[in-house]
């Protein structure tokens, strides 16, 4: 059995290993692959592993031996699922590996807004503390989270993990989810979307991207938020209308935004968000803790073993058989 990894470097740049993967078949590793490399590199493969390399319609036509695609992520939009169904190819994902890590990143952004650790560390290194007349100084308002309100949009596993951290800080937690009406956590109140945006000091996005919610965080939604409120997005970039966000930040309609995801990744060199007021951007790394990536590899190997055993798991499509 031939197994081809198209873009293994992001998941494992060499620090965590691939576990039992090489024992499951002839395994060919590529650190990076262009979308145009897929057909040539995957010839004769029964199993393909991909993170962000696109497997499109043409690949399914050109790769008759392909039977199983294991996506090294939760999102699987890089695979043409309709074509996979027609070709009878299973597509699996890894749904739960990064729950705590993503919630942690949401709070990394929140804490940077409230404490400004990075800024003050740099000023100390520049010599300001050594020259200070007082024993301390601060350049921004320092904010205590206890008693503030966080609104969580999308209250699945990651949203609930984020809520647990917020409760630990003594925050009031409200949530909106299109599919959850009764809160699974007694300390969290489910509210409608408008109420959440109007009353939250922090709005944290943890929802899937669909055709219906693409760009729904827009000028209208920003106008509902407090001028002192912050937006945090560790879920999917296209949930936010980025030009509207730039306008909201520069016009001080909201206080700031912390983004781990953008609409286009990697972004262009002239993305307007770089120069927007009080906008923190990290390069889609909320999932990338060592612990999370180890779980990702372990679950992926489990997916492949289950397929080999004839009992595939974590399947996201309905292949014709």
Instruction: Give the tens place of pLDDT for each residue, 52-64.
Output: 999 999 999 999 9
pTM of the model: 0.91
What's the CA gap between 263 and 238, in Å, rounded? 5
What's the CA gap between 242 and 227, in Å, rounded? 18
Instruction: Give the tens place of pLDDT for each residue, 38-48.
Output: 999 999 999 99
Residue 122, pLDDT score: 97
- Grade residue 19 by pLDDT with cuts at 50, 70 and 90: confident
How large is the angle between the packed helices 290-308 and 99-115, nearest 10 degrees?
160
Flag whether pLDDT at 33 surpasses 90. Answer: yes
Mean local confidence (pLDDT), 94-111: 96
Residue 211, pLDDT score: 84
89 half-sphere exposure, CB direction, 13 A CA radius = 29
* Domain covering 2-97+290-308, topology: Rossmann fold (3.40.50)
Radius of gyration for the chain, computed over Cα atoms and rounded to the nearest angstrom: 22
Pick from 60-74, 205-219, 254-268: least confident: 205-219
Mean local confidence (pLDDT), 258-273: 96
Residue 318, pLDDT score: 95
Flag whether pLDDT at 90 surpasses 90. Answer: yes
Mean local confidence (pLDDT), 115-136: 96
What's the CA gap between 280 and 242, in Å, rounded? 14
Residue 208, pLDDT score: 87
Domains 2-97+290-308 and 99-281 equal at CATH topology level: yes
Of the chain, the percentage scoring pLDDT greater than 90 comes to 96
Q: Which residues pair with 91 in a beta bridge?
A: 69
| 4 conformational bin, left if phi > 0, alpha if psi -120 to 50, beta if neither | beta
Residue 321, pLDDT score: 75
Domains in the chain: boundaries: 2-97+290-308, 99-281
Residue 103, pLDDT score: 98
Active centre residues (catalytic):
236, 265, 284
Place of tokens 């408008």: 194
**Considering the domain 99-281, what is its CATH architecture?**
3-Layer(aba) Sandwich (3.40)
């Amino acid at each position: 059995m031939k197994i081809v990894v198209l873009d293994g470097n992001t998941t494992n740049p060499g620090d965590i290993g691939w576990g039992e993967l090489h024992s499951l078949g002839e395994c060919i590793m590529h650190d990076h692959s262009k979308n145009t490399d897929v057909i040539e590199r995957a010839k004769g493969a029964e199993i393909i592993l991909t993170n962000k390399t696109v497997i499109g319609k043409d690949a399914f036509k050109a790769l008759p031996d392909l039977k199983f695609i294991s996506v090294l992520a939760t999102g699987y939009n890089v695979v043409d699922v309709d074509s996979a169904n027609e070709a009878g190819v299973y597509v699996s994902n890894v749904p739960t590996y990064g729950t705590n890590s993503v919630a942690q990143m949401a709070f990394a952004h929140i804490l940077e807004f409230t404490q400004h650790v990075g800024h003050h560390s740099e000023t100390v290194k520049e010599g300001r503390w050594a020259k200070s007349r007082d024993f301390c100084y601060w350049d921004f308002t320092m904010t205590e989270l206890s008693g503030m309100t966080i609104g969580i949009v999308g209250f699945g596993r990651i949203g609930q993990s984020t809520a647990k951290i917020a409760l630990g800080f003594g925050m009031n937690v409200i949530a909106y989810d299109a599919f959850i009406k009764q809160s699974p956590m007694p300390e969290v109140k489910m509210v409608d979307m408008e109420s959440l945006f109007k009353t939250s000091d922090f709005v944290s996005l943890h929802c899937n991207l669909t055709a219906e919610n693409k760009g729904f965080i827009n000028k209208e939604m920003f106008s509902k938020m407090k001028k002192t409120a912050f937006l945090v997005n560790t879920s999917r970039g296209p949930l936010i209308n980025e030009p509207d966000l730039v306008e909201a930040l520069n016009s001080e309609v909201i206080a700031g935004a912390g983004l781990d995801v953008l609409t286009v990744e990697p972004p262009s060199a002239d993305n307007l968000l770089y120069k927007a007021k009080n906008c923190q951007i990290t390069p889609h790394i909320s999932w990338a803790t060592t612990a999370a990536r180890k779980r990702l590899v372990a679950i992926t190997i489990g997916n492949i073993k289950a397929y080999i055993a004839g009992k595939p798991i974590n399947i996201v499509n309905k292949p014709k058989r």
